A and B are shown apart, each in its own frame.
Chain A
Amino acid sequence: MIRLAVKDLRLFFRDRRSMILTFAIPIVLMTIFAFAFGGVGKTRQSNKITLLVSDLDNTPLSKKAILQLDSLKSIQLQAVTLEEAEESIKKGNRSCVLVIHIGFSDSLIKGAELPLELRYDEARGIEVGLIQQSLVPTIAMLPFNLLNSKQMIGNRLARMAGINDPKAKEAIKTQSDHLYDAISDGILRSGKRDKVNIASNFMGGDIKMTKLVRSTNDNQLGLIQAVAGTAVMWLLFSVVGVGMSILDEKHEGTLTRLLYTPTNPVNILFSKMISANVISILQLLIMFLFASLAFGLEIYSNLGGMLINIIATAFACSSFGILLASLAKNRSQVQGLSILIILVMSAIGGSMIPLIFMPSFMQKIAVVSVNYWSIQGFYDIFWRNFSIFNPTFISRISVLILIGIILNILAVIMFKKNILKLT
């Protein structure tokens, strides 16, 4: 038994390719995910989300508040006028603007609701959600950090109790001083999280949310991402299966038998190409149809664009599958190789994680993957509402077709070299 095991191990270690596949895949993937989530290197600073701030109040207190917010690690503030901000959001350059309305200072002192507003682009809901999440705790702490806290708490308590009589107020204030000491003592002793909780329970910290831009497709972004991302990734896996049948045929002897016939050998490859395309187109159609029926993805508004993108995607992906099969010697090699390449392409091309969550250098790398061009194409059609004549859309289709042509040429060369060789 040990002898058998040793033999197996020896065979394995002799096959350099399967070694790489076994050990390189996990490492490569780990690295990519690490980069994607921004956990690598000291470049965290550069990953800050830029938040526009428009300070209409323009008082010393509002300026102090901006400084407080600016100290947040995850957010980079940029002060602009409201007009500039709104224009930038409507153009799609920024996702939202924090508006500090006139009266901010007064409200702060009075302990009233703060007139803060987040005007945002609905289509970028995910990003805006992140910003809102990180703003709330700081905003809740603003009164504590900016004011003579004792006075503020007194005012707040009085307001909550609905008392206006100056004498009564004075009495409350004396009491509240003691109360303040107790509360701040409690706050200081508690952990940071509790501090924020206490503060926001006491103070609120709400921001008014205003949709500045309504998403044309009512927030289908996430859906399009999920459908297109998954579809392209799975498509790649299934075309590899078709490509693999070339190797099966070689193994079964039917490939040799095909060579006995007057058929042109390259046609054997192209016939695989055709069947891969047919299968791909079917698969994508079914997936989008399903997304339409099950999740309400609006596919009928630009059916032509969708079909064009599907065909281009199918072509690029099929060529990829065929090339992969022509590169390898046997089934298991293709399997390993394809898993590696597909997962890497899917990870960097945005099939797994939407590109907006990736640092900018990752977004630049994305262009090397088929997934990127195809997914962006689907965004163009379903979300950006581009027509099929839009130059951006056309350029993406062209890239996909170009990828397909190049991979096809390589596949023919490798097929002649690796597969047709009988010696």
Chain B
Amino acid sequence: MIEVKSLTKSYNGRKALKGINFTIQTGELYGLLGPNGAGKTTIISIMSSILDADSGEVTIGRYNLSTDAKSVKKVIGVVPQEIALYNELTAYENLLFWGGLYQVPGKELSNRANELLNLFGLEDRKNDKVGNYSGGMKRRINIAAALLHRPKVLFMDEPTVGIDPQSRNLIFEMIEKLHSQGMTIVYTTHYMEEAERFCNRIGIIDNGQIIAEGTLDELKSTISTKEIINITFSNINEEKANEIKSFWSDAKQSDTSILFKSSNVKFDLSKLVLKCNQIGLDITNVEIMKVNLETIFLNLTGKQLRD
């Protein structure tokens, strides 16, 4: 359904995308997981044809983006990362306006608008100006505004940033519902729980590159490790760090902590503690982390997903 081939993009000479490839099947919910500045919004912008890539190719359905942008725009819906609504218009008016741009006929349009307001739990506030809405309510309308033309493909760019749990759950239910109806969805986020919760497949993106891709299970199996032992030291220096790292087959330093991969925690932990005592490293904290997207990301990049 969606094919992205070797996309590159630079802003003022700085590379934001360094050759992005992925394929998404019809009806799939594909997650793009990555930290701030990874390039998620840049990918979405290129796929929705408002930004030109420096090189690479995108096809959506039957259409090639470079030759058929207008047809693509008709079948996709985009939920922008920043709330983009007219504050001076009511929620209902906003929906009618955005839907109207896709030539949805009047009667049908108002039916769909009411239906969406209902689904997003805002029917009783529909005649309030969006400017007077809370952040979570605006987010909901921000999503609803992308759905009026019933797009076959939906791009959602971090649709849940900075909102309350209640709105978030409502949005999750909405997404699951749309997914179950067969919509193809590309969902970007830097929350690994979101990606874990409902994405069929996940592309982990960092620094303009997709560094791992697959289903959650596939991603987990890429590392033989079951757990990661994260030990923080009070007196770490280069010499001691090197000594302990050379002792362990797979260890990565992150500030004053070192991450040790392990397939048998009980056994490995006592070995590590013993060695640390020998070197004279003082332990201030030990954390055993089950393998999840967070640890996979950490394992791949040595960075936290969120700071």
Give chain A's interface residues, CB within 8 Å of chain B.
252-254, 256-263, 422-423
Contact of B50 with A422 in the complex, beta carbons under 8 Å: yes
Q: How large is the interface on B (under 10, 10 to 19, 20 to 34, 35 or more residues)?
A: 20 to 34
Give B86 Cβ to nearest chain A Cβ, in Å.
Answer: 6
Q: Which of B76-84, B160-168, B255-263 contacts A (4 or more CB under 8 A)?
A: B76-84
Closest B residue to A260 by beta carbon equals: B78
- Asked if B101 contacts A261 (CB within 8 A), the reply is yes
**How many angstroms between the C-alpha atoms of A257 and B94 in the bound complex?**
12
Other-chain residue from B12, B70, B80 in contact with A253 (beta carbon distance below 8 A): B80
13 A-B pairs (CB sep. < 8 Å): A253-B83, A256-B50, A257-B78, A257-B80, A257-B84, A258-B101, A260-B48, A261-B73, A262-B70, A262-B101, A262-B102, A263-B101, A423-B11
Contact with A along B51-90 (1 / 0, CB 8 A): 1000000000000000000100110101010111111000
Q: A254-B84, A258-B101, A260-B80 are in contact. List 8 more A-B contacts (CB 8 A).
A: A252-B87, A254-B85, A257-B80, A257-B84, A261-B102, A262-B70, A262-B102, A423-B51
- The answer on a CB contact under 8 Å between B101 and A252 is no
Residues from chain B with a CB closer than 8 A to the CB of A261 are 73, 98, 101-102
B225 at the interface (CB under 8 A from A): no
- Residues from chain A with a CB closer than 8 A to the CB of B78 are 257, 260
Does A422 contact B51, Cβ atoms closer than 8 Å? yes
CB-nearest residue of chain B to A263: B101
Q: Taking A259-B50, A260-B73, A262-B74 as contacts, is the C-beta distance between A253 and B98 under 8 angstroms? A: no
B73 partner residues in chain A, CB cutoff 8 A? 260-262
Bound-complex Cα distance A263 to B98 (A) = 11
A262–B85 Cα distance when bound, in Å, is 17
Contacts of A254 in B (CB 8 A): 84-86
Complex Cα spacing A261 to B76, Å? 9
List residues 175-212 of chain B with CB under 8 A from any CB of chain A: none
Which residues of chain B are near A260, meaning CB under 8 Å?
48, 50, 73, 76, 78, 80
A19 to B176, CA, bound (A): 54
CB of B84 within 8 A of CB of A253, answer yes
Residues in B with CB closer than 8 Å to A258 are 101
Q: Tell me the nearest residue of chain B to A262, going by C-beta.
A: B73
Known contacts A259-B50, A262-B70, A263-B101: does B45 contact A252 (CB below 8 Å)? no
State A75–B102 Cα separation when bound (angstroms): 71
Q: Which chain B residue shows the least CB distance to A261?
A: B101
Q: Give B125-165 as 1s and 0s: 1 = Cβ < 8 Å from A's Cβ atoms.
A: 00000000000000000000100000000000000000000
